[in-house]
Amino acid sequence: MKYRGGLQLGTASRTTIFRILKAVGYFTSYSHAGRFYTLRHIPKFDRLGLWSWRGIGFSSHGTLRATLIFLIERSEAGQTHGELQRQLGLRVHDTLRSLVQEGIITRERFEDIYLYLSADPKKATAQRAARMLHIPSSAAVVPPDPLLVIDILAEVIHHPREDAAAIAARLQAAGRIVTAKQVDEVFRSYSVKKTARLRWPRSRA
């Protein structure tokens, strides 16, 4: 339910609407900047405390911040942004960055991406160890999709002297899910040297 002048409850008073909602109990969406509300008895939350209606996300934990903290703290092996994005249905880079800056969670580089961990050092160590067990040393590189290939090559053109790790970091900062290994695979496929010069196929015209 979204507040629209109080027509649903027969009143135009925003204060009255929220007094009624508070009395019966409600949840605010963690997505869409918290603009949507649902009565407490309506959501059927999953095991993570998440519920979605027409693309609008709600959490039994309340806000997006509280939900991210819960998901990271309860995780056996920490969480990557990609994993959190798939669970929540939206990008959460800014919120994660804020939580890290405030010391509420921690993060570190792992397999060319950021891994978000508990702020408790002992728990973070256990999460890191569990993540290591989940990642085979010989794991195959997943080829990037065509649109991501275009983005990688565009970054190479704009930053011709950066290596695969730097290009991957730029794309990750922009919200793309990519690893340095995938970027390196594109480098090999398109004959991009480590100086990041492209060898474009010669025209036969």
Determine how β-strand 113-118 pairs with β-strand 79-80: antiparallel
**14-54 pLDDT tens trace:** 677 677 777 778 899 999 988 898 888 899 999 999 999 99
Q: What is the pTM of this model?
A: 0.60
**48-71 pLDDT tens trace:** 999 999 999 999 999 999 999 999
How many domains are contained in the chain? 3
- Domain boundary pick from 134, 156, 191: 134
Give the CA distances from residue 171 to residues 7, 143, 145, in Å, rounded to whole numbers and listed in that order. Answer: 44, 15, 14
Q: Is residue 136 pLDDT above 70, yes or no?
A: no
Predicted pLDDT at 84: 93
- For residues 149 and 188, state if they share a domain: yes
Contact between 81 and 113 (Cβ < 8 Å): yes
Report if residue 1 sits inside a domain. Answer: no
Q: What is the DSSP letter of 63?
A: S
Assigned token pair, 191: 């004959």
Q: How many CB atoms lie within 10 A of CB 129?
A: 11
- Domain boundary pick from 26, 44, 59: 59
pLDDT band per the 50, 70, 90 thresholds, residue 110: confident
Domain with 32, as residue range(s), is 7-59
Q: How far apart are CA 154 and CA 146, in angstroms?
A: 12
- Domain boundary pick from 114, 134, 154: 134
